[in-house]
């Protein structure tokens, strides 16, 4: 029997951990899973609704860390996770993704000699100004088992000198959640609530510090969104970080967008739960985002995505032809959006990516069992 601590901290972790915990509960004679929530994200809309939507059991332990500077947040997670690890003595800790909680918990494990597996290992944007890239590189260096979503990630790890025996390509656990919930999401009334018809609206999400903390960049992006909204409704669930910037900058470009005015069709709404958001983006004609996960989810569904960044740690989404990097220049965003709208009326055929097949979580379990023998 393997005792496993599954760490979740922030919104993008929940959909990655849910299928792993579910797979472990189905094999209760081999796995005893615990869920530890660091509390990096704590709002109902950023955290609680995801437990309900994803049928993820309530956390066994909550560290209630909350917001703070990177150093303060990372340090507090470490400080509060250490006694849990000493008391629980798990065989493995699983960390996912690239948030501050991921690195903090992996580092505590490395120092205490507890084995740690990193799910979604090996992704690289090669942009060290992104906090997530620092978290990815460091977490991979100190983890015992690196579970990757695709072959390009294996290659990145090998180039950084990580021995092949620590690397296993298991596929994309986030796609497990997407596939498992696509049918359930049909019951969401989100499109009625925001009065949009399938394949006749765009969805926007933004939360990267480089896009939303900088007034000039954020205004540039909004001027592009305003023009796109002249063509079709734009639904924009606003991340708390972005909401704080909007309030701080109070720009007229942005105020025009808030609420639905006659001039603009940009609807700024509260963050959505997993099922509502899945229902929303899966019916969109176009998605504009700076998120990592949404680039992958749109790729799997064959929905055109424009990524408002200069780089991506998920190059496979570009190779598949669904995703395009457009940066943050207003002209470029508008031009590419109009081009994408011209070429698409509905979603394209779904690209086939090896191991994005809804069976990544069982492969995570197999990898843990195998690595436990050594
Ligand atoms: C974090 C992750 C990022 C991930 C994103 C998804 C890091 C470094 N960044 O970014 O990788 O893509 O989550 O959402 O770990 N806030 C709330 N309520 C919440 C959570 C946050 O109001 O429930 C506010 C806080 O005041 C905070 C700000 O949002 O100052 C940012 O939160 P933080 O966890 O620091 O980073 P994110 O930008 O959310």
DSSP conformation letters of 108-163:
HHHHHT-EEEEETTT-----TTSHHHHHHHHHHHH-SEEEESSHHHHHHHHHTT--
Query: Rounded to whole angstroms, how far apart are CA atoms 178 and 156?
Result: 26
**Per-residue pLDDT reduced to its tens digit, 32-65:** 999 999 999 999 999 999 999 999 999 999 999 9
> Which atom of ligand 1 lies nearest, measured to the CA of 12?
6
Does ligand 1 come within 6 angstroms of the Cβ of 68? no
Q: What share of the chain is helix, strand, coil (3-state, %, to 5)?
A: 50, 15, 35
Q: Are residues 303 and 215 in the same domain?
A: yes
Q: Check residue 251 and give its pLDDT.
A: 63
Residue among 37, 41, 207, 239 flagged as catalytic: 207
Is 207 catalytic? The answer is yes
**Domain carrying residue 36:** 2-172+356-372
Q: Please check whether residue 347 lies inside any domain of the structure.
A: no
The residue contributing the CA closest to ligand 1 atom 19 is 41
Burial of 113 (0-12, 13-18, 19+ CB in 10 A): exposed
Q: Are residues 310 and 365 in the same domain?
A: no
Q: Are residues 323 and 253 in the same domain?
A: yes
Three-state DSSP at 288 gives strand
The residue contributing the CA closest to ligand 1 atom 29 is 241
The residue contributing the CA closest to ligand 1 atom 7 is 99
What is the pLDDT tens value at each position of the chain, 374 positions in all? 999 999 999 999 999 999 999 999 999 999 999 999 999 999 999 999 999 999 999 999 999 999 999 999 999 999 999 999 999 999 999 999 999 999 999 999 999 999 999 999 999 999 999 999 999 999 999 999 999 999 999 999 999 999 999 999 999 999 999 999 999 999 999 999 999 999 999 999 999 999 999 999 999 999 999 999 999 999 999 999 999 999 999 765 565 555 544 446 899 999 999 999 999 999 999 999 999 999 999 999 999 999 999 999 999 999 999 999 999 999 999 999 999 999 875 556 788 899 999 999 999 999 999 999 97
Where residue 121 sits, what CATH number does that domain have? 3.40.50.2000
Dihedral sign from CA coordinates of 100, 104, 109, 110 = positive
CA distances in angstroms from 41 to 45, 138, 318, 356, listed in the order given? 9, 21, 29, 27
Show the beta-strand stretches assigned E in the chain: 2-8, 31-37, 61-62, 92-96, 115-119, 145-148, 167-169, 202-205, 234-237, 266-269, 286-289, 305-307, 323-325
Query: Rounded to whole angstroms, how far apart are CA atoms 292 and 305?
Result: 11
Total domains in the fold of the chain: 2
Q: Are residues 214 and 261 in the same domain?
A: yes
Ligand 1 pocket test, pick from 7, 8, 10 with the greatest ligand atom count within 8 Å of Cβ, gives 10
């Amino acid at each position: 029997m393997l005792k496993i601590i599954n760490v979740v901290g922030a919104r993008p972790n929940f959909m990655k951990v849910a299928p792993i915990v579910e797979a472990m509960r189905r094999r209760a004679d081999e796995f005893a899973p615990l869920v530890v929530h660091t509390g990096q994200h704590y709002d109902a809309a950023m955290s609680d609704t995801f437990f309900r939507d994803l049928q993820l059991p309530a956390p066994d332990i909550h560290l209630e860390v909350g917001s703070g500077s990177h150093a303060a947040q990372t340090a507090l997670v470490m400080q509060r996770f250490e006694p849990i690890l000493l008391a629980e003595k798990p065989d493995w800790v699983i960390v996912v993704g690239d948030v501050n909680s991921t690195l903090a918990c992996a580092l505590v494990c490395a120092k205490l000699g507890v084995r740690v597996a990193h799910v979604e290992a090996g992704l690289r944007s090669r942009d060290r100004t992104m906090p997530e890239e620092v978290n990815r590189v460091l977490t991979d260096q100190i983890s015992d088992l690196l579970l990757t979503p695709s072959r390009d990630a294996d290659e990145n790890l090998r180039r950084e000198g990580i021995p092949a025996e620590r690397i296993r390509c298991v596929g994309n656990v986030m796609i497990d959640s997407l596939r498992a919930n696509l049918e359930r999401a049909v019951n969401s009334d989100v499109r009625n609530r925001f009065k949009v018809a399938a394949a006749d609206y765009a969805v926007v999400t933004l939360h990267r510090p480089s896009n939303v903390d900088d007034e000039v960049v954020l205004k540039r992006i909004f001027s592009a969104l305003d023009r796109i909204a002249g063509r079709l409704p734009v639904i924009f669930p606003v991340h708390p970080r972005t909401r704080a910037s909007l309030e701080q900058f109070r720009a007229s470009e942005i105020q025009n967008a808030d609420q639905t005015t006659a001039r603009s069709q940009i609807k700024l709404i509260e963050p959505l739960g997993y099922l509502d958001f899945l229902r929303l983006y899966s019916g969109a004609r176009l998605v504009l985002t700076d998120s990592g996960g949404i680039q992958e989810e749109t790729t799997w569904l064959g929905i055109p995505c424009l990524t408002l960044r200069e780089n991506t740690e998920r190059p496979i989404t570009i190779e598949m032809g669904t995703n395009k990097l457009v940066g943050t220049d207003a002209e470029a965003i508008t031009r590419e959006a109009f081009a994408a709208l011209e070429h698409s009326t509905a979603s394209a055929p779904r690209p086939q990516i090896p191991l994005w097949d809804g069976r990544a979580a069982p492969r995570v379990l197999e990898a843990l069992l195998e690595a436990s023998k050594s």
